[in-house]
């Protein structure tokens, strides 16, 4: 589970970085946070509630919001995610990852002109 900021847009991602499939993948967050203008609680996405199967290398990427709007709404900038999953044999695993989204405030950004905007 990770965040990314591209051209000023904040994304939340879930990726199986392992070499084996993951089963019954569930992600919990220590604080609620919303996207899409504040209308969509991100933890409510099926993606985070439970995935029965996630192939090796599989990645899901969900737009949260333009970073400036996310910050303006005073959404949490420090989030901890607890990712629980099982391997093929049913052995449980859990990872805890803390993210500080303020790093994206400090980074410069370049917005590339699209061909239609270049004229």
pTM score, two decimals? Answer: 0.85
pLDDT average, residue stretch 45-58: 96
Cβ atoms of 30 and 17 closer than 8 Å: no
Question: pLDDT per residue over 19-37, tens digit each?
Answer: 999 999 999 999 999 999 9
106 compared with 65, residue with greater pLDDT:
65
Fold of 2-106: Immunoglobulin-like (2.60.40)
Residue 115 predicted with pLDDT over 90: no
| Alpha-carbon separation of residue 17 from 20, 54, 59 (angstroms) | 9, 10, 9
The pLDDT value given to residue 107: 79
Question: pLDDT per residue over 82-105, tens digit each?
Answer: 999 999 999 999 999 999 999 988
> In the chain, where are the structural domains located?
2-106
């Amino acid at each position: 589970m990770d965040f990314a900021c591209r051209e000023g847009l904040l994304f939340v991602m879930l990726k199986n970085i392992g070499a084996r499939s993951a089963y019954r993948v569930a992600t919990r967050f220590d604080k609620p946070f919303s996207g899409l203008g504040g209308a969509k609680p991100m933890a409510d996405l099926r993606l985070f509630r439970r995935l029965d199967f996630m192939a090796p290398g599989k990645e899901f990427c969900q737009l949260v919001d333009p970073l400036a709007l996310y910050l303006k709404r005073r959404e949490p900038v420090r989030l901890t995610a607890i990712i629980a999953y099982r391997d093929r044999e049913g052995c449980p695993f859990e990872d805890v990852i803390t993210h500080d989204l303020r790093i994206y405030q400090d980074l410069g950004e370049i917005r590339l002109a699209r061909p239609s905007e270049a004229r």
